[in-house]
Amino acid sequence: MARKTRREDEEAAIDMTPMLDIVFIMLIFFIVTTSFVKEAGIQVNKPKANNTSKEPSANIFIAIKENGEVHMDRRMIDVERVTANIERMLAEQPTDTVVVQADKEAKHGIVVKVMDQIKEAGIDKISIAAASGG
């Protein structure tokens, strides 16, 4: 029987480096191209509507609680700071739609102020979230 030398064993080994490089590059590609949704971070009791429609997905959600608190990106903000926060979020991920999730007991004046701030940030499409059913 012929004996293998150490040199033949080394040549038979498979080099895993190119495969690992490709897997790592694909991982980076998928992380960069993934769309991250920034929810408001709180649950509100949405009013029910008979005629609801499914809007295209948005990246920016603003929640308004029954006591008038405004929440964006899992934190409470002042109504006057909505424009600045939207502009910051638009710099990270551009979108043309903002979804307002107002509690059914929230005051109309706060909702209108938030909508004005959204318009000032340059967003023309504002969707109001409602629960389906009557």
Domain 48-132: state its class: alpha beta
Cα–Cα distance between 114 and 133 in angstroms, integer?
26
For residue 133, give Cα distances in angstroms to 53, 60, 128.
12, 24, 15
Tens digits of residue pLDDT in 67-103: 989 998 888 999 999 999 999 888 888 888 888 988 8
Provide the residue ranges of all domains of the chain, joining segments of one domain with +: 48-132
Cβ 91 vs Cβ 129: under 8 Å: no
Q: What is the CA radius of gyration of the chain?
A: 25
What local confidence, expressed as pLDDT, does residue 97 receive?
85
What local confidence, expressed as pLDDT, does residue 108 receive?
87
List, for the chain, all residue ranges whose pLDDT scores fall below the cut of 50: none
What local confidence, expressed as pLDDT, does residue 45 receive?
67
Cβ 37 vs Cβ 93: under 8 Å: no
What local confidence, expressed as pLDDT, does residue 125 receive?
86
